[in-house]
Amino acid sequence: MRPARSRTGIPRIRSPSVALSKNEKIELLRQVPLFSACTKRELIEVALVADEREADLGEDLTAEGRAGREFFVLTEGHVAVRRKGRKLAELGPGDWFGEIALMTFKPRSATVTATSHVRLLVISDRSFRYVVETTPRIALRVLANVAQRLEREPI
């Protein structure tokens, strides 16, 4: 049975059978470098808008050139990042992706494919903007981390 597809042609990512509690989400987010400088209150704001999802081996989570409407934080499993078919990176628990398309409204710069069963926290563009607008310090922390990442890995 093939997974249901979204409007963008990417398989819809399933909700897990056992959801994380708010405190578990906060602890996972605290370990992600992107959010490591956030206060507990800021982490609560992010955790409240983060949905947990699962994907199977071989499922594309993003597609290069397609619109991006989500930001992902890996909580379990691994993914491969490819641009023009060339593997750029392998990401694992605690890594994140999708923030560039989310913040710039430009198409995805790479395809990200699950190389194992994965669990993720997913934050939609609308939820991300809400958190950034209501908690401006998060925006500054996220921008600083994105700038550091871009210095290391230009898009």
pLDDT, one tens digit per residue, over 74-122 is 989 999 999 999 999 999 998 889 877 777 778 999 999 999 999 999 9
C-alpha distances in Å from residue 34, one per residue of 3, 7, 38, 45: 30, 29, 9, 14
Question: Can you tell me the distance from the alpha carbon of 107 to that of 102, in angstroms, rounded to the nearest whole number?
Answer: 9
Q: What is the pLDDT of residue 54?
A: 95
What pTM value is reported for the model? 0.76
Question: Can you tell me the distance from the alpha carbon of 67 to that of 33, in angstroms, rounded to the nearest whole number?
Answer: 25
Q: Which domains does the chain have, with CATH numbers?
A: 22-152 (2.60.120.10)
- Tens of pLDDT, residue by residue over 42-86, are 899 999 999 999 999 999 999 999 998 898 999 899 999 999 999
